Amino acid sequence: MLSFFTRLPVPQVEFEEQRYIRGIKAIPFVGVVLGLILYLVSYVNLLFSPAVTALVLLTVYIFITGGLHLDGLADTCDGIFSGRDRERMLEIMKDSRIGSFGVLAMLFFFTFYAVMYQYLPREALLLLPVIGKSAPLISASFADYARPSGMGQLLVDNIRTPEVAVAVALPFLIALVLPGLPFGLRASLIVACGLGELSVVVATLRVKKLLGGITGDTHGMVCELSQMVFAFSVYAVQQLWAQAVLAQII
């Protein structure tokens, strides 16, 4: 699964459907590996300014993932915001060319992280890819596949309760067991995990209404969307917590 979902220098394994199916349960743990890498890279803030650190983190994230889910984010935005009927939306999403809404989604993605990486606590970087890699499993657990066939159908057809349970619980478990966190930060991570996973449910329900189901592209979309919701939620809850503490002191 590391060779499939990342560009890390691990032994490359030839893709086979049965290997992928057996590896579904390991997808959230790919997020753990990515989170550890981002956590370690974040220590460049000892040398660089917050803005440069954010740029380094963004570059590393894209490099180690190969931008795998960004294509799905762009294609999904092109389709669902096109205002066309269901069949035409699916055709647009399958088109290899990027449209205006896909471009806007990419611009928002890069701007969002160029700003948000400057304010995220280092511990949040551990959880960010775990949320993202868990998102497609949660989405696939309650949606049918919208196309007759496709790569994403393997996940939809083979997701089971144990895999979903791991995907839902793992981010919360990590947030609970991370040592030495102040109460406010731990609480913000837990709340953000919940909001990140809630965004997967809301987005999947909306996609089901528009497309009649989900696709491989929407897997990528919920991955990136849940990560952005998580990141913003960590920042927002921390700000609210700091203001509440300050108000009590005053």
Angle between helix 183-211 and 216-249 (nearest 10): 150
Domain hosting residue 14, numbered range: 2-249
Q: Which pLDDT band holds residue 246 (cuts at 50, 70, 90)?
A: low
For the stretch 136-147, pLDDT in tens is 999 999 999 998
Which residues contact residue 211 at a Cβ distance below 8 angstroms, ignoring those fewer than 6 apart?
A: 79, 80, 86, 89, 90, 146, 218
Instruction: Kindly provide the residue ranges of all beta strands, DSSP E only, lying in the chain, ordered along the sequence.
Output: none
Whether 247 shows a pLDDT value over 80: the answer reads no
CA pair distance 125, 234, nearest whole angstrom: 10
For the stretch 188-235, pLDDT in tens is 999 999 999 999 999 999 999 999 999 999 999 999 999 999 999 999
Q: What is the pLDDT of residue 75?
A: 96
The 10 Å Cβ neighbour count of residue 154 is 18
Tally of structural domains, the chain: 1
- Biggest CA–CA distance in the chain, Å, is 62
**Residues 52-59: what's their mean pLDDT?**
97
Q: What is the pLDDT of residue 243?
A: 82
- Closest by CA to 215, choosing from 148, 158, 164, 134, is 148
**Residues 32-43: what's their mean pLDDT?**
97
Q: What predicted TM-score, i.e. pTM, was given to this entire model?
A: 0.95
Look over the chain and give the mean of its residue pLDDT values, rounded to a whole number.
94
The 10 Å Cβ neighbour count of residue 1 is 20
